[in-house]
Amino acid sequence: MCIDNMFNMNVEDIRTFVSVAEAGSISAAAQELHLTQPAASRRLQRLESLLGAQLIDRGKRPFALTDAGRTALERCRRFLSVADELKALGNGSRAPSRELRIGVAHALTELALIEPVEEMQGQFPAATLRLHTGWSRDLLARVRSGALDAAIILMPRRDGPPPGVTAERVARDHLAVVAPRSWPGHSCTIRQLRDQPWILNPDGCAARSELQHELARVRLPLRVAVESYNYELQLRLIARGRGLGLVPHRLLMRSPTRRELKTLRVRELAFPQVIWMVAGDLPSDLGALVTVFQHALARRLSHA
């Protein structure tokens, strides 16, 4: 690459490439950056032109980086880190000005994250927080690979601390089997759920997989009536008698629909969970941001 091209690079073009690599698609990155997809594509093409190399294999599905893209990714991350540090130096700020990338599991996106975000930004006003959503196991893999700095995930209690990362327990939780208020009784066996429709998260949810496994163990099928990421929508449909659900207990207790529902005790089904904050090997400034966010989240959950 010509040295002159290095000085012609646009920082936002580099930031867009990193976002595309981490989000897994141009459209997802465009949404995170508040750009149109054509605008994000133009930024990426401009960077590729300056580098004289194709960074994304556009002929592959699913998304894939080229060899040059994989080589460039970590260097682009370092470039952005230095650029942010120089910006903070110019502003006379000694507070961390780095970008912190935190993943939030789908099952936790309805937590009140406002307080942790505000506390982190109050202590470190020069820092930028980017929140990404996904399934817990996918987010954990992204933390291990360095695509995310940290993540808030929900894992079965029996699994213990996730290996390969720094893991701090934030809170405990459990998933409740939820039925309409008209359901007869408060307890049943798993076989009494035969032929019942379910209202669940889309396929890929670990809790849904566990439920399917437990039903299959006694040779019962999983019949899904409705799939939705929105727990409040799930609860309203359950209240109307459209099926049973599997919902985090803390969300059920805060739902305005809870008086129209009941929790079932199914002797063969138990879903104790742990909410973890997991992080990679972070420099001290990013580690400080994660610690503030984690402690604020733990306080919020203790009052949930």
Closest CA to 266 of 158, 160, 201, 194: 194
Q: How many CA atoms lie within 13 A of 163 on its CB side?
A: 1
90 and 179 housed in the same domain: no
Rg (the chain; Cα; Å): 22
d(Cα 59, Cα 90) in Å, to the nearest integer?
42
Residue 109 has pLDDT above 80, yes or no: no
120 and 64 housed in the same domain: no
85 and 105 housed in the same domain: no
d(Cα 138, Cα 67) in Å, to the nearest integer?
23
User: How confident is the model over 205-226, as a mean pLDDT?
Assistant: 89
Among 48, 74, 94, give the residue marking a domain's end.
Answer: 94
Contacts with 128 (C-beta within 8 Å, 6 or more apart), sequence order: 84, 97, 98, 99, 100
116 and 60 housed in the same domain: no
Among 79, 94, 109, give the residue marking a domain's end.
Answer: 94
User: 212 and 202 in contact (C-beta within 8 Å)?
Assistant: no
143 and 281 housed in the same domain: yes
pLDDT band of 28, cuts 50, 70, 90: confident
DSSP 277-302: EEE-S--HHHHHHHHHHHHHHHHHHH
- Evaluated on CA atoms 236, 241, 244, 249, the torsion sign reads positive
19 and 74 housed in the same domain: yes
104 and 253 housed in the same domain: yes
226 and 266 housed in the same domain: yes
Domain total for the chain?
Answer: 2
CATH of the domain at 279: 3.40.190.290
Residue percentage of the chain with pLDDT more than 90: 24
For residue 37, the Cα-to-chain-centroid distance in whole angstroms is 22
Q: Which residue has the higher pLDDT, 186 or 10?
A: 186
User: How confident is the model over 203-210, as a mean pLDDT?
Assistant: 84
d(Cα 104, Cα 26) in Å, to the nearest integer?
20
pLDDT band of 253, cuts 50, 70, 90: confident
Residue 147 has pLDDT above 60, yes or no: yes
Q: What is the domain extent for residue 67?
A: 1-94
User: 250 and 275 in contact (C-beta within 8 Å)?
Assistant: no
Q: What is the value of pTM for the model shown?
A: 0.65
Residue 119 has pLDDT above 80, yes or no: yes
130 and 206 housed in the same domain: yes
101 and 82 housed in the same domain: no
CATH of the domain at 87: 1.10.10.10
Query: Helices (H), strands (E): how many in the chain?
Result: 11, 10
Among 67, 94, 121, give the residue marking a domain's end.
Answer: 94
User: How confident is the model over 148-152, as a mean pLDDT?
Assistant: 92
90 and 105 housed in the same domain: no
250 and 134 housed in the same domain: yes
